[in-house]
Amino acid sequence: MTTFDKYPTVIVSEHKEDVWQGVKPIVQQLKMLALEHNFIAIECYPGVDIKKLYHDIIQPLHADETICTDDLFFNDDKITEMIKSNVTEDDVFGTFSPHSLEEFLDDKKVKAVKAKIRNNQKKNMIVYGMGASLIAEEGLLIYADITRWEIQQRLHQGMSNWKTNNQDEPMSRKIKRAYFFEWPLADRLKKSLLHKVDFWIDGNDTKNLKLISQEQYAQGLTQVVSQPFRLVPFFAPGIWGGEWMREKFDLDKEAVNFAWSFNGVPAETSLYLQYGDCTIEIPANNVVFYYPTELLGNKVYGRFGREFPIRFNFLDTVQGQNLSLQVHPTTEYIQEEFGAHYTQDESYYILHAEEEAVVYLGVKENIDKEEMINDLKEAEIGNKQFDDEKFIHRMSIKKHDHYSIPGGTIHSQGKNSVVLEISSTPNIYTFKLWDWGRVDLDGKPRPIHLHHGLSSLQWTRDENWVKEHLCSPNELIAEGEGWYEEKTGLHELEFIETRRHWFSTIVYHETHDSVNVFNLVEGEEAIVESINGEFEPFIVHYAETFIIPEHIKKYSIRPHGPSEGKTIATIKAFVRV
């Protein structure tokens, strides 16, 4: 039976105080608030079901007038034209929109609505939708929020992006529009509103909406950054997906496979905050936005702003297939081509490896560069199969190996292994060079990006360079009775440091002026404890990723429960500062 907790929860309060669950209690509470406020603005993150919100919550309030902000923006075609350079013609990649939401509002319409609000003396008015907070000059502000993972599920199910009718577009283009336009736009606005919101709506489950006061919401976020915590993991299928996670984590037996899992990425995942018998789900990024210094540390916040720079996720190919042969951009390339601050440097920590498991890393010695480029181009148009054995360096792997993969290094994970990918966060920039001549789960070939990939590929990273610089250094850092610490990576070109501890007794840790991200890579159970009693003991199980906020400074980890008296291991990542 699995011990992996798929629904980790931060317990904020034993009582459900200032938290309302279900349509009827929410409407009753808002009716009471409406007696005190003539004007209510309900700001919505793109992806919130505003039709359902109107039907279930707004309409029963019987306001004298309701205004949907969608009617105050430019039409769909004009907005698409304005962001054309960000949402490019490419199926996958764009550039991050620098726009503010105000730029897309029709000034004449906004002035007319604001005049109506100012002249209102007795009527109850509700403005709702994305940008509602920009219309409000006073009154009650409610924010209806939703996680990015839930947004992606709704896009898969046929939802259009905000202010466009594209329900039939390929999923990759929908995600691209959200990733490069909607989410940066909405996050800029959300950051400016964090301390102005009066109430939050959890809009993830349209059948069970929840309302929480700002005071209780802030208390929840404060609790999160005061203790170790876990994010809610999600699991998804893929053409190369395997069976290890299904068995180890007791996942859906009917799913086609499970290729990957995000379990340590606040930008993509969520948090469960528990108040009595009510659980509120929030985007984990809100903690980064609200308490960046406490979570990240001053130095990391100063370097990255309100971005969580470390990513942990699983890649499962057991009984599956190879990942694509791919490369990530160099820092210079990603800055010049896409306007991102830093690239996706990464590493493969081998959590599980079966017989004949391999990784592909670097090019072979003395290959003909032009011949390889030509063969990739011929393979892209279907004229031949790319001969990976001729050009790409391949290595056998075993459990607990660790391979650094700085941007510009050609790589792939072979079948029959599970990788804990420890990386920097920009995760959309993967340039596929060859996809083994296959189609995706939807029956269509996945996009290949030879131009970007070949422009990024560092040809000097050949077999000898890889063996010298990227393969499991395992440098002993410190040791004591019952424990030792190793430096396992990453390469000096990458800003993440990783340390592995093997221990059968208590180990004392420091945060190194950075948020710490962990995974229990060996052993059934461990317990994280405070040195000075500032947080309650925190239990973790095999393969669970957990986060230690920087402001905790010092803490300890030791084997617990079924692991007492045994040697277990953690891998720890932090930013070199």
- In degrees and rounded to multiples of 5, residue 458 shows phi and psi of -95, 105
Q: Is 59:26 a contact under the CB 8 Å cutoff?
A: no
Q: Is 164:79 a contact under the CB 8 Å cutoff?
A: yes
- Other C-beta atoms within 10 Å of 81: how many? 10
Q: Nearest to residue 563, comparing CAs of 534, 530, 521?
A: 521
Q: What is the mean pLDDT of residues 17-31?
A: 96
pLDDT number for residue 121: 66
Q: Do domains 260-265+294-469 and 475-575 have the same CATH topology?
A: yes
- Please, which pLDDT band fits residue 404 given cuts at 50, 70 and 90? very high
Q: Check: CATH 3.40.50 for 9-224?
A: yes
Where is average pLDDT lowest: 128-137, 399-408, 539-548? 128-137
Share of the chain above pLDDT 70, in %: 99
Contacts of 399 (CB under 8 A, 6+ apart): 350, 351, 352, 353
Q: Nearest to residue 260, comparing CAs of 276, 281, 271, 246?
A: 246
Q: Is 113:68 a contact under the CB 8 Å cutoff?
A: no
Q: What is the mean pLDDT of residues 407-415?
A: 97
pLDDT tens digit string along 266-290?
999 999 999 999 999 999 999 999 9
For the chain, the C-alpha Rg in angstroms (whole number) is 25
Contacts of 424 (CB under 8 A, 6+ apart): 309, 310, 311, 342, 343, 344, 345, 346, 494, 495, 496
Q: What is the mean pLDDT of residues 442-448?
A: 92
Q: What is the mean pLDDT of residues 484-488?
A: 96
pLDDT number for residue 216: 97
pLDDT tens digit string along 241-257?
999 999 999 999 999 99
CA distance 243 to 416: 9
Name the residue ranges covered by the structural domains of the chain: 9-224, 260-265+294-469, 475-575
Mean pLDDT (the chain, rounded): 95
Residue 180 pLDDT exceeds 90: yes
pLDDT tens digit string along 116-165?
888 876 788 999 999 999 997 788 999 999 999 999 999 999 999 999 99
CATH fold of 475-575 reads: Jelly Rolls (2.60.120)
pTM of the model: 0.96
Residue 79 pLDDT exceeds 70: yes
Residue 312 pLDDT exceeds 70: yes
Q: Nearest to residue 246, comparing CAs of 399, 360, 147, 352?
A: 352
- Please, which pLDDT band fits residue 234 given cuts at 50, 70 and 90? very high
Three-state DSSP at 78 gives helix
- Provide the CA 343 distance to its chain's centre, in angstroms: 15
Share of the chain above pLDDT 90, in %: 89
pLDDT number for residue 489: 81
Contacts of 342 (CB under 8 A, 6+ apart): 304, 309, 331, 334, 424, 426, 495
Asked, as a colleague might, if the bond just before 493 is cis with ω within 30 of 0, I would say no
- Provide the CA 463 distance to its chain's centre, in angstroms: 32
b/e burial code for range 456-487 (CB count within 10 A of at least 16 → b): bbbeebbbebbeebbbbeeeeeeeeeebebbe
CA distance 509 to 531: 10
- Please, which pLDDT band fits residue 36 given cuts at 50, 70 and 90? confident
Q: What is the mean pLDDT of residues 344-357?
A: 96
pLDDT number for residue 105: 97
Runs of H (alpha helix) within 252-387: 285-290, 292-296, 298-304, 331-338, 369-380
pLDDT number for residue 2: 84
Q: Check: CATH 2.60.120.10 for 260-265+294-469?
A: yes
CA distance 166 to 153: 15
Number of H helices, E strands in the chain: 18, 31
